[in-house]
């Protein structure tokens, strides 16, 4: 049996609480505007620290405005992780016209998700951590260089980032040459990056191991900020 109740106001018979239906019932509100008192928000206790499991109520525009919840973990924001920075403290070398591929950055400065491998010079995107990353590298080599190319490559194949410095002729040489390059890359879980360097020189050329910050490789995931505005 269905019936219709038309009233302008429901007032509790006693106390200050009014109950509609019983536990387990579903109450449907017709299309329109439901006005809630601001005291629902302002009267609640304030939480100053959010955790990933905290939930927020949203109106989903892709589902005709249906109410859904989203967790803080899926809102974005927070720290730029995974993040890593590694440096090379041992010298590497190659003959003129050849690559060192990959460069081994053997000392980690930090590695939030244990995603960088000092044995093979690779950063691998962890499971569930795909997205846009800023990656960078700095390289310094020496011994009469006239052409140098520094590249960050993906999955051992395609070069994603490249920087080159070349003298006008091989008779005009760099005693020491330093290059920095970086870019934003769209990476999927399981993708890996490493660095390779090419040089032409008067003979064998070397990476510089005289300073711990002359050769490094690093990167971090770019977070998406969501701003919650309190009125």
Tens of pLDDT, residue by residue over 142-153, are 888 878 889 999
**What integer pLDDT is reported at residue 9 of this predicted model?**
76
pLDDT tier at 229 (50, 70, 90 boundaries)?
Answer: very low
Strand-pairing partners, residue 142, are 176, 206
What mean pLDDT comes out for the span 116-136?
A: 96
CA gap 231, 227 in Å, rounded:
12
83-221 folds as Jelly Rolls (2.60.120)
CA gap 145, 203 in Å, rounded:
9
What mean pLDDT comes out for the span 196-209?
A: 82
Tens of pLDDT, residue by residue over 68-107, are 777 766 665 567 899 999 999 888 888 888 888 899 999 9
Q: Which residue has the tokens 């490789």?
A: 217
The residues spanned by each domain of the chain are 50-78, 83-221
Q: Which residue has the tokens 């000392």?
A: 107
Of 72, 79, 152, nearest to 110 by C-alpha is: 79
């Amino acid at each position: 049996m269905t019936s219709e109740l038309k009233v302008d106001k429901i007032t509790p018979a006693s106390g200050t609480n009014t109950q509609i239906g019983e536990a387990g019932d579903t109450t449907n509100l017709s299309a329109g505007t439901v006005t809630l008192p601001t005291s629902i928000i302002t009267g609640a206790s304030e939480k100053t620290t959010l955790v990933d499991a905290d939930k927020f109520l949203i109106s989903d525009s892709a589902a005709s405005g249906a109410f859904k919840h989203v967790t803080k973990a899926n809102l974005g924001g927070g720290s730029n992780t995974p993040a890593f920075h590694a440096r090379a403290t041992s010298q590497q070398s190659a003959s003129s016209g050849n690559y060192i591929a990959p460069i081994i950055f053997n000392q980690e400065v930090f590695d939030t998700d244990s995603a960088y491998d000092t044995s093979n010079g690779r950063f691998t995107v962890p499971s569930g951590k795909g997205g846009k990353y800023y990656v960078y590298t700095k390289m310094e080599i020496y011994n009469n260089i006239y052409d140098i190319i520094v590249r960050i490559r993906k999955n051992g194949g395609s070069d994603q980032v490249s920087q080159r410095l070349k003298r006008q002729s091989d008779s005009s040489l760099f005693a020491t040459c330093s290059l920095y390059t970086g870019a934003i890359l769209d990476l999927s879980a399981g993708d890996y990056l490493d660095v390779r360097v090419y040089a032409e020189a008067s003979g064998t050329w070397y990476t510089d191991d005289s300073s711990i910050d002359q050769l490094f490789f690093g990167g971090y995931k770019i977070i998406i900020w969501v701003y919650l505005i309190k009125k």
